Chains A and B, each alone.
Chain A
Amino acid sequence: MRWWNRRRFEQRIDMLIPRLYSVSLGWGCSKPTCDDLVQETVTTALSKIDQLRNPDAFDVWVFRILVNAHRQLLRRERWLTELDNEFLVDDNGPSRQLETSRTIDRVRHAINRLSDDHRKVLVLVDMEELSYRQVADILEIKLGTVMSRLGRARKRLRSILDEQDTPTSDKAVLRRIK
């Protein structure tokens, strides 16, 4: 590969890094795990850049490397997802910040209760706004599988959020104290 092409790909990978990090967070990784995953993805992508067949599918190719790195991590460490609250804070004023972080917290906790397969599809489609075709290419599954996983993921997510939205006080049983 000519050096200017390589330089161009380096710039594209650099621009992708925040998205890769965001997706890793969406999958429930802690900050140190995101650091490791994204670093590994970037290093692998740069070392295998010559294997890239279609430069137009560059983003998909890099995301696929991220998926593989994440899969290896799960396999290697029997990894438990954990939330990193540091990134839940927003700078939109105290009340908005509190409300936003509560909402984000609830949704992210609900997403973390999904299975890994469902979570991956949901994050890629809803958070990264990738097309079904791109998600199928990234996860190396069929288009129909993307649709069915997404359908089940949203159904499950709705039920989890419904559970969370239901105030616990409503469930309290009144007992007569003699």
Chain B
Amino acid sequence: MTESLPVSNELLNAFVDNELEGDERDWILYLEANDPQVAREICELRKLKSRVRAARVEISREQVNTRLYKNPHSLVWYAVASVMIVVSLLLVAMPQKVAMQYQYASKSSHSDYASLLQSVSQQPQQNLVLHIRTDQPEAMQHVARLAEALLQTAGDKKHQLVIEVIASGPGLRLLQSGSKGFAGRLRAIQTAYPNVKFIACRKTLKKLNQKNPGKLQIMKEAMLVASGPDHARLRVEQGWTYILL
């Protein structure tokens, strides 16, 4: 043991562990060479160190079940779920988003109107939904003007353009028959361009007729669907371009 040795136990251990430098190391080296007791102690410590080292169990990565992430499958599911939620939100929000963009365009920006015309003129085949939900005369006039302009541009370019004008809510008044409304103009458009359809929302019509029976008559050229917004959503899902006014 080290009680009677000329050097401390800690220093001898540090020497064996190669932790000493300079004078301290030289001093132990000298003692190792000249003091049999120190040499024996160093030898014992080295033997002990190698025995402990030998007791180390070598482990390969395959033997350990540890994973970087506790449940990698859940991460995949989180990712898939996130993507699905985003896609769903986009599908639901898309009509409104496009609508908001176009509402702005229809009010003030002629360049967006022009870009829509340009888009129609560049694409040889396009399907378009114009959805009107307001009974403001400017908006109704705008729908008629826009549909006509687009159809004319497509006709000039000999492109295939199909337009469905969907009227729901207060916008149903667009398709009101009689001399006061837009029926005459719409009828003329449809006569000139058979690739345009006017679609009325049966749900809205039913509500209006419940309040004032027989007051609102829809032009006979218009087609009735169960729900205007649902029909619009169906068309969006089918890849149609959607514009809300």
Contact = CB atoms under 8 A, between A and B. Distances in A.
Nearest to A144: B10
A22 B13 contact: no
B120 to A, nearest CB: 42
Given A22-B59, A132-B17, A127 B52 contact: yes
B51 A46 contact: no
Interface string A1-19: 0000000001001110111
B10 A18 contact: no
B57 A104 contact: yes
A107 interface: yes
B39 interface: no
A17 B54 contact: no
B66 A107 contact: no
B23 interface: no
Interface of A: 10, 13-15, 17-19, 21-22, 25-26, 35, 38-39, 42-43, 46, 87-88, 100, 103-104, 107-108, 111, 122-123, 125-129, 131-132, 147-148, 150-151, 154-155, 157-158, 161
Main secondary structure of the interface of A (DSSP, over half): helix
Main secondary structure of the interface of B (DSSP, over half): loop
A18 B64 contact: yes
A100 B10 CA distance: 30
16 contacts: A17-B66, A21-B59, A21-B66, A26-B57, A46-B68, A87-B59, A100-B54, A103-B55, A104-B55, A111-B52, A127-B52, A151-B10, A154-B13, A154-B45, A158-B44, A161-B48
Contacts of A122: 52
A107 B68 contact: no
Given A18-B61, A22-B59, A125-B17, 8 more contacts: A14-B68, A17-B61, A25-B57, A87-B57, A104-B55, A107-B51, A107-B55, A150-B13
A43 B70 contact: yes
B66 A127 contact: no
B61 A151 contact: no
Given A14-B68, A125-B17, A148-B10, A22 B55 contact: no
Given A103-B51, A158-B44, A88 B57 contact: yes
B138 interface: no
A39 B67 contact: yes
B19 interface: yes
Contacts of B17: 125, 132, 150
A147 B55 contact: no
B69 A158 contact: no
B21 interface: no
Contacts of B56: 22, 26, 127-128
Given A131-B19, A147-B13, A151-B10, A21 B54 contact: no
Q: Which 8 A-B pairs have the closest CB atoms?
A: A107-B55, A126-B52, A127-B56, A18-B59, A147-B10, A151-B9, A87-B57, A38-B66
A129 B44 CA distance: 18
Interface string B62-87: 01111111100000000000000000
A132 B19 contact: yes
Nearest to B16: A154
Contact of B59 (A25, A111, A150, A151): A25
Contacts of B60: 18
Contacts of B70: 39, 43
Contacts of A158: 44, 48
B40 interface: no
Interface string B1-43: 1000000111001100101000000000000000000000000
A127 B48 contact: no
B53 interface: yes
Contacts of A150: 10, 13, 17
